[in-house]
């Protein structure tokens, strides 16, 4: 994998991440395919305009539990299982495990947890996380980390940092799949001093890129913005910078300005299913009565099929009728909005440096 910065204005930058399965233009938003599918979308739709997604995200925890590594291995990896020939990033499973709270038993070696599906007991260590991701065959794997909740006491954050550092070293010793690279994950909460301290520990390690975990986990948004503004551009300049699990269009715009290159979030797909659509004029709640007779599109500036073919009144009807088509159309629109946002931010950066 190679990463090149093509243009930079202030801290914001536009680049290209080269992988064996294709180029990824940054800044980039990665649609989340938790269980091996971006909900409501076929891989053909994801790859075609207006989405043209260059990379999607898979969830190690969920795929490990279901369909299981035997099924995925029999297909030769996640790409063949889901029919996707472009890059995939897989998370380490850590966030989902630690989200179980007290039911997950954490020690310095790893984490024991129970499946949310059938209650069976499982254990993931740094080595096991890398083994799972190697079986998945993702292009970018993530190191196993401990993610403390937002607002956690300082001693809890420090313990999570220490474990994440120790686990990062163990992840680097694990065998990756052919062509697979590994990103490290920085913790430290909203404390810039702790973030810098953790970067001092992980920065010298030979990761292909670095992610910032532990944001958007309950801390005030203003604290996240302040930390990103102070810290994001201090991550290695020659490697991609990834902000995990964030966020709204405003969050992404602010983070790009702070120097971040990569994003993922369930918000565009989850909010679509729940009736919230992102538009050039702000958020739109399709259930509101004012859309009952609305013959216009969700967003007249959007080129997606949802906006060029269907009215808000029709979408509202589908939403209340609980028709599957609503979720598909709403998801297509929200993902298009996010993709257009990062492409516009990229174009503005390239234009500012004289690129055509």
Helix/strand/coil for 217: coil
* pLDDT reading at 98 higher than 80: no
All structural domains of the chain with their residue ranges: 2-264, 266-356
Contacts with 79 (C-beta within 8 Å, 6 or more apart), sequence order: 21, 85, 88, 137
- Residue 351 a catalytic site member: no
Q: 0.85 exceeded by the pTM?
A: yes
Alpha-carbon separation of residue 260 from 71, 201, 225, 251 (angstroms):
35, 20, 12, 11
* pLDDT reading at 61 higher than 80: yes
Higher pLDDT among residues 356 and 74, named by residue = 74
* pLDDT reading at 209 higher than 60: yes
Helix/strand/coil for 185: strand
* pLDDT reading at 309 higher than 70: yes
* pLDDT reading at 97 higher than 80: no
Closest by CA position to 157, among listed 219, 232, 231: 219
Mean pLDDT for all residues in the chain: 96
* pLDDT reading at 356 higher than 60: no
Average of pLDDT values for 256-281? 98
* pLDDT reading at 352 higher than 90: no
* pLDDT reading at 149 higher than 80: yes
Instruction: Tell me the fold of 2-264.
Output: TIM Barrel (3.20.20)
* Catalytic member of 233, 251, 264, 299: 264
Closest by CA position to 268, among listed 259, 260, 277, 280: 277
Q: What is the pLDDT of residues 155-187, one digit of tens each?
A: 999 999 999 999 999 999 999 999 999 999 999
DSSP calls for 257-278? HHT--EEE-SHHHHHHHTTEEE
Average of pLDDT values for 328-337? 98
Return the DSSP state at 122.
E
Element (H, E) at 19: strand 12-19
* Catalytic member of 91, 139, 145, 299: 91
Share of the chain above pLDDT 90, in %: 93
- Residue 91 a catalytic site member: yes
């Amino acid at each position: 994998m190679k990463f090149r910065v093509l243009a930079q204005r202030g801290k914001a930058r536009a680049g290209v991440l080269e992988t064996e399965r294709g180029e990824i233009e940054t800044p980039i938003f990665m649609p989340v395919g938790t269980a091996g599918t971006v909900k409501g979308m076929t891989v053909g739709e994801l790859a075609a305009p207006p989405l043209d997604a260059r990379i999607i995200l898979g969830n190690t925890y969920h795929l490990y539990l279901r369909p299981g590594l035997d099924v995925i291995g029999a297909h030769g990896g996640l790409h063949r299982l889901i029919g996707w020939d472009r890059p995939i990033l897989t998370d380490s499973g850590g966030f989902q495990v630690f989200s179980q709270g007290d039911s997950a038993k954490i020690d310095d070696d790893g984490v024991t947890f129970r499946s949310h599906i059938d209650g069976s007991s499982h254990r993931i260590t740094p080595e096991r996380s890398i083994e799972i991701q190697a079986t998945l065959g993702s292009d970018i794997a993530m190191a196993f980390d401990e993610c403390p909740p937002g607002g956690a006491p300082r001693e809890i954050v420090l313990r999570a940092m220490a474990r994440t550092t120790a686990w990062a070293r163990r992840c680097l010793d694990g065998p990756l799949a052919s062509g697979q690279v590994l990103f490290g994950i920085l913790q430290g909460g909203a404390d810039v001093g702790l973030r810098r301290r953790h970067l001092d520990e992980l920065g010298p390690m030979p990761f292909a890129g670095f992610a910032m975990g532990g944001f958007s986990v309950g801390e005030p948004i203003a604290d996240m913005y302040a930390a990103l503004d102070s810290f994001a551009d201090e991550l290695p300049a020659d490697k991609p910078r990834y902000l995990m699990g964030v966020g709204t269009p405003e969050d992404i715009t602010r983070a790009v300005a702070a120097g971040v290159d990569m994003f993922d979030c369930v918000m565009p797909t989850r909010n679509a299913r729940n009736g919230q659509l992102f538009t050039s004029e702000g958020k739109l709640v399709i259930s509101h009565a004012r859309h009952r007779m609305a013959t216009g599109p969700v967003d007249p500036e959007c080129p997606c099929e949802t906006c060029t073919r269907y009215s808000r009144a029709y979408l509202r009807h589908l939403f209340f009728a609980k028709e599957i088509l609503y979720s598909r159309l709403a998801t297509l629109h929200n993902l298009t909005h996010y993709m257009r946002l990062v492409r516009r931010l990229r174009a503005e950066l390239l234009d500012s440096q004289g690129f055509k």
